[in-house]
Structure 1
């Protein structure tokens, strides 16, 4: 063995690790100065220095074990049948260490991926517009972004992505899979998904587009002489809290009688953003959030708010509400006894921080657990609504896959059940919803085809199926039959 080469590699590897620890501490110290008045989440300088010392001590204790990594590096370099790039091996070692943690939210991002990550947080990006996570080893949709190609194509929370343009994503880390899904505006990608509760795999064609990150949408409704403000938050980015506060102030100046905060399909985002929003509503006598550090120490965080708002507030959630959205919902629920309407949320109860590796690459690592005001950890369980409300059945209809022959009279198939749900949702009553194509279903199909200038056959081929899905998605995106929002307003006005 070339002792000199091994020694150099060992020094390089240790330098990478020490560099990461040093950068992390410096980043934390900077965070302490910049965030003390806002989030209160940074540790004290003294604690950070002690933590850095502890990590360096651990590093020194494990120097002997690290030589095993260097041995593997050298064995591969000197014995593998083909030439191997040094950087490939080092990045593979980092990926392997992180994957061994079994935490889908702790990931390595190379320089290019990190640039895309920053772009997504700060402005806009090009792609299909869906937040994804690694769940039990599967690339899984957390939520499609509002008005994105993913939403228009019918992707839903908990859809598992299996292939992208025919190539399997099995074995890829999250950001490798994301890089396959993303692409230039106007380009098309075919995604094969497994949807829980659906027997057949679904193949969905999506045209990529620019995904603007507008995060605050406002609506007003007059109900029984009361002004109800509805603010939808699609994610928590840098400007979300500021824009949200401004819109609340406008509504209050108009004499708002109740507020709905809609975080359905909101996959989360920046923790300080949701903290600033909570400080507008949670009074100082109860914590709006608790944070548990790696040692198990819990810290509680409070606002300076003296008195509660003089109007009721309802939070709207669903299975696509994750992370910061769940913080908002459970904090208002537990700290202020405000109602939560909808269905149980996604269930992400951890906080990540980015640690620079010094070369433009970054590790996004889970550092804390966040707990509700009462100290509950909702991870993998989600936030339960105080008032449960589903959406109409047609909201859950799946894309129809016409493989060979059209679906026709006297056939039974799970796809026909989805066709019937769509027809009913579009006010073409098929008479039944059990997947059997009877005379009533045929007449409903013929009426739909006639109204949409399709060939009137009474059968559902791919063309009819696509128009059905398009019309239904238009109705859903326009907010028709939004039973959850209706229930939230009903709760406010009681």
Structure 2
């Protein structure tokens, strides 16, 4: 979840934390005046009157004397001079000393801005929290684009985990999804450059780019022995986040792909359209939804939870807990089932837990990702920012689901073939080749109804005949070679087969049909 604040809003709060600072100049004057008044009231003989002109001359003398001593010390002394009334932070002495050593001893010119950025980066990395990060101006711009209406890139949510960059979920219809990127894929390199040790923000900055340009991601898929290179053509990624359709005459399905600025409005419009088509029951699909804005999580959850019921709770570092409740006067009153999986994270987990615990809506699928923290972004004046974990969020019952996830009421897995790896269209597979990619192609051909013979990873005559049959049906050049357009056609048909055999949606329809019958 993301919350954006201006850094200037927090200056007063930060200053209040500096309990051991010396008095400011104004405080010194106030204290001096107070002491003088006490002396006057307590003992008149100790009060000394100074004429205005003499007082002004004395004040100038003191100022010039102080300035002279300071200048002398700065010019000739080895010791640091701290101006009276300027707050000091002793915990940063070591940092200042390191900077002074670099400035004095480093053999080349220093880039002061780079050093400051590096120091802030170091503090954020020392937290050991994959969700806290410092972003320079370019990185901050990318971050803000991620929660706006569109951006240019591949369309995938990623995070840093254990020193690696992991895919949380590709965006529906994005180049990343079309290329076969999957949740939990580890991105090892971008255009041949290793990104081991990169932050998520640094990786995003490297992966994003102009529409029409290509980026090559080196992927390690869980359970796979070999890595693979995936070439993805960047595109404009519109943040349409809600997709609706009727499954049958009475049950509609709505998929929410992320929680962006307009998601609540999109959802209301989509539900209204489906109700006009006769929807009496709703399957809400938030699989592979990586989350997004906290405000949207609140408004969307409220659509399904009765007024004044708890949606979730936020616990700050001091142990204070704030409850967020539904303000919806007329929540949706038709039977609903929510479908979740390992790619459902953050705000989508808030929604799942809220509807489950506070509205009794059944959950179908697999245990969610398990992100139980809230992030706040603070913008600096130069348009860089820091994003940091500021609180935990808890379910309505007070459970912290971090690294545990939200469990479904009905645990249902997708078919094993749904997790087959991506085949690179640039790779040419033909007769007599034996490889893991050939074995994957054979399994895909089998699923879409073309018999490749024995599934053993050997591209034999049976495999060639299956490819020829596919090419004929798709009106492609009949070569018997799997590459380019033929590979894309194979994967498109395979993807359609996965949707037709979506066991999680099938179970959701079964549950919702039973609930509709009870009404």
Tell whether the 8 Å contact from 2:212 to 2:235 is kept in structure 1 after alignment: yes
Q: Does 1:105 align with 2:147?
A: no
Pairing partner for 1:128 from 129, 151, 154: 154
**Equivalent position of 2:285 in the other structure:** 262
What displacement does 1:89 show? 0.5
Distance 2:258 2:321 in 1: 26
**Equivalent position of 1:312 in the other structure:** 335
What displacement does 1:247 show? 2.9
Tell whether the 8 Å contact from 2:337 to 2:362 is kept in structure 1 after alignment: yes
Pairing partner for 1:444 from 447, 450, 466: 466
Pairing partner for 2:348 from 322, 325, 328: 325
Q: Does 1:25 align with 2:10?
A: yes
CA RMSD between the two structures: 2.9
Distance 2:306 2:505 in 1: 26
Q: Does 1:481 align with 2:479?
A: no
Distance 1:147 1:132 in 2: 17
Pairing partner for 1:356 from 358, 373, 379: 379
Structure 1 residues 192-234: Cα deviation after superposition (integer angstroms, max 9, x where no partner): 11111111011011111111111111112325xxx11221111
What displacement does 1:362 show? 0.6
Range moving further from structure 2, 264-273 or 118-127: 118-127
What displacement does 1:372 show? 1.1
- Relative to the length of structure 1, the TM-score reads 0.82
Gap change, CA 1:217 and 1:434, over 3 Å in 2? same
What displacement does 1:313 show? 0.9
Distance 2:152 2:440 in 1: 31
Q: Does 1:96 align with 2:115?
A: no
Q: Does 1:426 align with 2:448?
A: yes
Pairing partner for 2:181 from 155, 158, 161: 155
What displacement does 1:270 show? 0.3
Q: Does 1:184 align with 2:203?
A: no
Q: Does 1:291 align with 2:314?
A: yes
Pairing partner for 2:18 from 51, 56, 65: 56
1:9-408 aligned within 5 A = 23-25=8-10, 52=14, 54-57=16-19, 63-223=89-249, 227-252=250-275, 256-284=279-307, 286-305=309-328, 309-400=332-423, 406=429, 408=431
Distance 1:124 1:233 in 2: 16
Unaligned runs of 5+ in 1: 1-19, 27-48
Pairing partner for 2:439 from 395, 417, 428: 417
Q: Does 1:468 align with 2:487?
A: yes
Structure showing greater Rg: 2
Distance 1:480 1:86 in 2: 58
- Relative to the length of structure 2, the TM-score reads 0.78
Gap change, CA 1:81 and 1:325, over 3 Å in 2? same
